[in-house]
Amino acid sequence: MTLHPQALAALALWSAGPSVTDPGFGPADVAAMRAEALAAAELEPKEPVDRVEDVDADGVRCRLYVPDLAPATAQRTILFLHGGGFVFGDVDTHDGQARRLANRTGSAVLAVDYRRPPEHPFPAAPDDVDTALSWLLVNAAAYGLDLSRVVACGDSAGGNLALVAALRNPNALAATVLVYPFVDAAMGCPSYVAPDGGLTRAEAGWYWEQYAARPEDLQDADLAPYLATGLGTLPPTLVQVAEHDVLADEDLELARRIAAAGAPVEVTTYRGMIHGFWRHPQLFDAAEEALAEIAGFLDRHV
């Protein structure tokens, strides 16, 4: 399918901003882009939920969202890991999506503010996710949550971290949801030639360079879970793919490898879509479609 008209409009909008591949792009530009993203998030409508609470998960800043399900309670908990190429994004930029995720799925959502490169390269982020997950499993009951019904969900770099969390902690999660996950540090799949996918090969390479503290880290399966040998230990997993994303082929191959390893996996390709569509419902109708699919998947498996 050709690019959806909404994807074309989003690409035109996003092209007006700076790129990490601009000549001379450096730390000051990273700080400026982070500040701009926070300012944009402040303007985003915030759906009401029953409760929002900032929590200290053994030193890792997190934010807990509990949807308004009275008189029912949210028994399922989603460990939400935001995207942003590991470098950008935090619990504030993704506040709107965390609220939507809670409301659409009827789940409590624990959003993790993991440390980011270049200040804190690998393995800071997955270590923080492990800490937050361990904290949740110990403290779930205190918040009225069922520790046997914990799901890891992430988009892009967050999809990487959700997958790594499931692999590092076998049997701890009831399901994983990977939204166009960023998993192949070698960038070896044919779809990397896509010029109009919302993410370019050059940009992807820049993000991997920031994330990896040392060149040899690019061969570590905790950084690049495309290399993982334990995919058969995964719980039921949903992989959502954007058709025109440079990551499309690696995501489809990841789903194939999970299935070949014997773990249950479902995969959906969103036709005409580009990287980033999932968290922008104001730009993409498919964002709500993807959230609805996640809700259905979790209702079936968790």
What CA–CA distance (Å, rounded) separates 44 from 141?
32
- CB atoms < 10 A from the CB of 1, how many? 10
Answer yes or no: are the C-beta atoms of 59 and 73 closer than 8 Å: no
List Cβ neighbours of 12 (8 Å cut-off, separation of 6 or more): none
Provide the annotated active-site residues: 156, 245, 275
CA distance 45 to 172: 34
d(C-alpha 227, C-alpha 37), whole Å: 32
- Report residue 176 as tokens: 């994983």
For residues 229 and 261, the answer to whether their CB atoms sit within 8 Å is: no
